[in-house]
Amino acid sequence: MNLNVLWAPWRIGYVSKASNVRSCIFCDALAKSDAESYIVFRGIRSFIIMNIYPYNTAHVMVAPYRHVPTFELLNDDELLDMIKLVKLSIKAIDLEYKPQGYNVGVNLGNVAGAGVESHLHIHVVPRWLGDTNFMTVIAGTKVIPEDINVTYSRLKKAINSLTNDEHPYIKNN
């Protein structure tokens, strides 16, 4: 049997801590600086944060500030803020990356694929024709072509260019 090895040493931090994590990644991120936690935008009731283990470049998540696991526990203002930030995410990604499509979705519960069940979040994943290439199909390996810090800077810049005083529902911190 020929075994190929893909070195991904940055994953050890996640792998070694995953089974004993008791805190919430979203709540923890809010307590840190935006750059340290990869928060690209803070709205009034929710925020946009980069997925540091992305499916594709510019994969972000929108989460409410309140630590709740399901939609029905949010009030209408929180729900509206989340959807507006999904829209803002798509506009910013369109501006910087020009994808050909998106997967936008929520995994509710562990059996549905939720990595973080206790804090509701919406994934916004840009898609390009051919982004599932031979590496994904043959080797079961996803290639992310851009450094996360570069992606963070690009998205932050795009969001800053899209937000202004005409949009009172969003507040940039």
Q: Report pLDDT for 15.
A: 55
- Nearest 5°: the CA angle 134, 144, 142 is 40
Q: Over 70: is that where the pLDDT of 2 sits? A: no
pTM exceeds 0.85, yes or no: no
Q: Report pLDDT for 55.
A: 86
The pairing of beta strand 39-42 with beta strand 60-64: unpaired
Which segment, 16-25, 86-95, 124-133, is predicted with the most confidence on average? Answer: 86-95
128 conformational bin, left if phi > 0, alpha if psi -120 to 50, beta if neither: beta
So what's the architecture of 9-162 in CATH?
A: 2-Layer Sandwich (3.30)
Please identify which of the residues 59, 67, 119, 121 carries the catalytic annotation: 121
Q: Report pLDDT for 173.
A: 42
Q: DSSP labels for 97-162?
A: H--SEEEEE---SGGGT-SS-SS--EEEEEE-TT-S-HHHHHH------S-HHHHHHHHHHHHHHH
Eight-state DSSP code of residue 57:
T
Give the other-Cβ count within 10 Å of 42's Cβ.
Answer: 18
User: Rounded CA gap, 135 and 120, in Å?
Assistant: 31
Q: Report pLDDT for 11.
A: 62
Q: What is the pLDDT of residues 43-90, one digit of tens each?
A: 999 999 999 988 899 999 999 999 999 999 999 999 999 999 999 999
Q: Over 60: is that where the pLDDT of 169 sits? A: no
Measure Cα distances from 2 to 5, 66, 112, 137 in Å. 10, 48, 33, 17
Rounded average pLDDT over 97-105 = 96
Rounded average pLDDT over 13-24 = 64
Sequence spans of domains, the chain: 9-162
Q: Which helix H or strand E contains 77, and what residues bound it?
A: helix 76-97
Q: Report pLDDT for 172.
A: 45
Rounded average pLDDT over 87-115 = 91
Q: What is the pLDDT of residues 107-151, one digit of tens each?
A: 988 887 778 889 999 999 999 887 765 555 555 666 777 889 999
> Residues 49, 53, 59, 61: is their CA dihedral positive or negative?
negative
Does 67 participate in catalysis according to the annotation?
Answer: no
Confidence of residue 152 (pLDDT cuts 50, 70, 90): very high
